[in-house]
Amino acid sequence: MANSVHLVGRLGADPEVVDTKGSTAVTKLRLATTERSKGNDGEWGEHTEWHNIVCFGKTAENVARFTSKGKELYIEGRLQTRKWEDRDGNNRYSTEVVANKVDFIGPRSEPREQAAPQQQAADDNVMPF
């Protein structure tokens, strides 16, 4: 069975752009997916899940340029769990979706103004999101 994820949701914040040492564009996203369901009491309720998404290269550049908080996206990718070390030396784990396809849903967005890309810390054990 393949490691495959398909999500439709809205951005909870503007994309975070990071340049790697090799100057490959990396964009990190926080995507909210919401499910509506009827409870035992007959009332409708909503449950929201938050997903950490990361994309690379041209996809990362386009997502950073044309999306902002609230934009609805369709994401295809794979799950990846990374191990990293926090400031206190404790091992931590983070699961994220590595996107290989991002489709913009809804009205076209104009390119947004971007701040200068942040440089990734020299240490590869950067705390995600």
| Whether the Cβ atoms of residue 73 and residue 11 lie closer than 8 Å to each other | yes
Domains of the chain in start order, with CATH, are 5-119 (2.40.50.140)
1 pLDDT band, cuts 50/70/90, is: low
User: 69 — phi, psi (to 5°)?
Assistant: -50, 135
Residue 29 has pLDDT above 90, yes or no: yes
Strand partners, 5: 77
Q: How far apart are CA 7 and CA 32, in angstroms?
A: 9
Q: How far apart are CA 80 and CA 94, in angstroms?
A: 8
Q: pLDDT tens-digit profile of 78-105?
A: 999 999 899 999 999 999 999 999 999 9
Strand partners, 7: 75
* Nearest Cα residue to 28 out of 116, 118, 125: 118
Strand-pair category, 118-119 with 16-19: parallel
- Amino acid 110: pLDDT: 63
Tokens of residue 40, six digits: 């035992």
Residue 121 has pLDDT above 50, yes or no: no
* Nearest Cα residue to 69 out of 9, 10, 13, 8: 13
Q: pLDDT tens-digit profile of 38-84?
A: 888 989 999 999 999 999 999 999 999 999 999 999 999 999 999 98
